Structure 1
Amino acid sequence: MGGEELWDVVEGLQTNGLLHYDYLVTGYIGSASLLKTVVRLVELLRQHNPNLAYVCDPVMGDHGRLYVKEDILPVYRDGIVPISSVMTPNQFEAEQLLGRKLRTEREAITACQELHGRGPHTVVMTSFHPEGVEDHLVVLASTTQPQEEGMPSSVRVQIPRSQAYFTGTGDLLTVLLLAMLDRRPGSLKTALEKALASLQAVLQATVEAAGDAAFAKDRDSQAQAVSFIGC
């Protein structure tokens, strides 16, 4: 779908009075034209509901490699970041948004805080890879939203690195985080911990369902897609 096709859908929704939403979530977007239309869509939806929360997973790449064309990056930086409520970049994507490498956890949490100044009130860096560490990942989060008494505005969670291969984990974490933040908007720590615990449970169920295929280097998308049934 391109930008024009998406806008045709939006106009149809508008004609039928179906543009009042509380949340908008976006993940992988493959073209600059479609991403620019998302900017227009958020602006339109906020005319109907100024409190609309826009949650953006800026899927651009990982492990030092872009998955998308380079012309998408400036649209994220200049168009999407300023209008986002919550962003969930991985380490590489955060580096692309800010134009610099993030080598330490201190630099990473500073990056989250810098993104606040550009738009989103909550930033979750979904995977930070400490140099020289192979057995775990770090998830870092920061918010400018008022927190419940005793709850921190910056959170660090360490999670084990799985040897299995999965698809869809970023999408799932983003929507789980949205659901948990809706329940506990004043406790980023609780929301993130519950979202990650739910994700780990789904991944474990996926490994059990896929068996040896979950660890195969030649990825089978059906076997390795996260399993929602029976979790």
Structure 2
Amino acid sequence: MSDGEPPVPDTRVLAVASHVSFSYVGNKIAVFSMQSLGCDVAALNTVQFSNHTGYRQFTGTRVSAAEITDLYRGLKQSYLDDFDMMLSGYVPGAPALEAVGEIAKELKEKAQSRNKPGSFFWVLDPVMGDNGSLYVAQDVVPVYKGLMKYADLILPNQFEAELLSEVKIVDMPSLTRAISVLHERYAIPHIIITSVSLPDSNTPSSTAPNSVPGSSAPTPPQLPQEEEENQGQSQPPRTKTLSVVGSTMTSTRQPRAFQISFPAIDCYFSGTGDMFSALMLVRMREAVYNTEGGLTERESWLSEDGVDALDLPLAKAAEKVLASMHEVLTKTAEGMKGRVERAKGFVEEQLQRERAQTNGYTNGNGTQDGEVQHVDKKPKLESEQTNGNGVLSTETEKTEKTEEEMIKEKEEQEAEARKKLHLMKSKAAELRLVRHLDSLRHPKVEFRARRIECS
């Protein structure tokens, strides 16, 4: 295939995830990524927000289960449901998730009725939480468990893998045990666990591929308070690498596991999980179509048992996806520090002007800017200051600000400045994807998979 051709054959994708007017998270980044690699994508949006929730303020609405069902029914009525693949991300609530599951099951049943194994493939990102905390309702978890057996590839982070497998992941043996349980219990053909954090592997959960969804939210989690002030700045590295761990099961549901490690980038990003999911969908299809032996016609694109973990299409796809991710994040981070510094300068300059105006309210009597003087709290009539004929004026009284009022006003100004700085930092951290399309299409693969032995 030449450089000018898409990496995949004609591919029709149904993408079900959140949508924002501004920034690159959810379907906003997923659809763009897949279209940039040659896929024809129909977007079914589960929320409509102004921006992602990491900004800590947004407007918009969540889509109900009935609306999701109705939108898909509209596609069917017009014969627009001939999808080859489906990608599902953040879904707001158990009823809506059940509606999405019904869509996926219907598409799989339609493919099976045509007696064409491998003609439909569902990539499921089970967005539930991260770092030990749920950011969806508790009743969402059993719904995801009920849908696992219909998915072809799942992309949980470490915490979500624990929820689904009911195995606490504390080291590599427990991680491989969780993968084995997912294969055995749900017959999931392909698994990639992102944001792996193991004490003995030096691979923390952080900002790399899976931040999703973050969000009570349809998008990546809110920026932690303790990290906010250092966003976009050089920080002492907590660790040196991050990892993803993947596996394709055998015909007897045994794992064939691999791990890919890559350098950490000490910045906070939004939308990385959604980008990872979208790229995995495309690169998995590419790897399968580049594999000889009729793999495209096998159910769930499941490789023969004799195929080694390192030769799996899943491993080859993950290598290429992580290469693209690392390039885009590195290029985004290179410009982020300057954007953050400019934001700080702008906010500080504005705050200084506001402080000067506050201080200047009582100045003019010899005090200097920034100096709080003792103020007589007794109101003075304007006539006492301006009327020279001894006649009291009935005009409005002028009251100077008290020290307490000035302190309160300054606190409000500083709070507003912190809010504004957070918003500007959040904008500075947006992925610079549209400027780096070559990293999506032609990444340089540097990080290779290594085999993991499963007990």
Provide TM-score, normalisation by structure 2.
0.47
User: Is structure 2 residue 80 aligned with structure 1 residue 18?
Assistant: yes
User: Is structure 2 residue 121 aligned with structure 1 residue 53?
Assistant: yes
Q: CA deviation at 1:76?
A: 0.5
Q: CA deviation at 1:192?
A: 1.0
Give runs of aligned pairs for residues 33-48 of structure 1, distance below 5 A: 33-48=95-110
AA matched with 2:427: Q
Moved more, 86-95 or 184-193: 184-193
Q: 1:19 to 1:45 in 2, by over 3 A?
A: same
Q: Could you tell me which residue of structure 1 aligns to residue 162 of structure 2? A: 95
Moved over 3 A (4+): 212-221
Conserved 8 A contact 2:265-2:330: no
Q: CA deviation at 1:218?
A: 4.2
Q: 1:24 to 1:156 in 2, by over 3 A?
A: same
Q: Could you tell me which residue of structure 2 aligns to residue 130 of structure 1? A: 198
Tell me the alpha carbon deviations over residues 127-149 of structure 1, each in whole angstroms, 9 at most, x when there is no partner.
Answer: 21011634122210000269xxx
Query: Could you tell me which of 138, 156, 179 is aligned with 1:70?
Result: 138
Q: Could you tell me which residue of structure 1 aligns to residue 351 of structure 2? A: none
Q: Could you tell me which residue of structure 2 aligns to residue 82 of structure 1? A: 149
Q: CA deviation at 1:225?
A: 2.5
Q: Could you tell me which residue of structure 1 aligns to residue 247 of structure 2? A: 142
Q: 1:212 to 1:163 in 2, by over 3 A?
A: farther
* Structure index of larger Rg: 2
Moved more, 201-210 or 55-64: 201-210
Q: CA deviation at 1:82?
A: 1.2
Q: Could you tell me which residue of structure 2 aligns to residue 3 of structure 1? A: 65
Q: Could you tell me which residue of structure 1 aligns to residue 427 of structure 2? A: 222
Matched length: 225
Q: Could you tell me which residue of structure 1 aligns to residue 327 of structure 2? A: 201
Q: 1:15 to 1:126 in 2, by over 3 A?
A: same
Q: 1:188 to 1:131 in 2, by over 3 A?
A: same
Tell me the alpha carbon deviations over residues 181-226 of structure 1, each in whole angstroms, 9 at most, x when there is no partner.
Answer: 1111242222111110110011112112322557999473332222
Q: Structure 2 unaligned runs (5+)? A: 1-62, 113-118, 203-237, 289-311, 345-420, 437-455
Return the structure number with greater helix share.
Answer: 1
Conserved 8 A contact 1:20-1:48: no
User: How high is the sequence identity, in percent, across the aligned residues?
Assistant: 30
Tell me the alpha carbon deviations over residues 153-188 of structure 1, each in whole angstroms, 9 at most, x when there is no partner.
Answer: 321111222210011111111111111111112422
Q: Distance in 2 between matches of 1:93 and 1:214?
A: 32
Q: Distance in 2 between matches of 1:107 and 1:75?
A: 24
- Secondary structure (helix, strand or coil) at the match of 2:191 reads strand
Q: 1:130 to 1:212 in 2, by over 3 A?
A: farther
Q: 1:221 to 1:48 in 2, by over 3 A?
A: farther
Q: 1:213 to 1:82 in 2, by over 3 A?
A: farther
Q: Could you tell me which residue of structure 2 aligns to residue 149 of structure 1? A: none
Q: Distance in 1 between matches of 2:66 and 2:340?
A: 38
Root-mean-square deviation over aligned CA pairs: 2.3
Q: Structure 1 unaligned runs (5+)? A: 147-151
Q: Could you tell me which residue of structure 1 aligns to residue 285 of structure 2? A: 182
AA matched with 1:183: E
Q: Distance in 1 between matches of 2:83 and 2:270?
A: 28
The higher-RCO structure (CA 8 Å, 6+ apart) is 2
Q: Distance in 1 between matches of 2:422 and 2:167?
A: 32
Q: 1:32 to 1:213 in 2, by over 3 A?
A: farther
Q: Distance in 1 between matches of 2:187 and 2:66?
A: 26
AA matched with 1:221: S
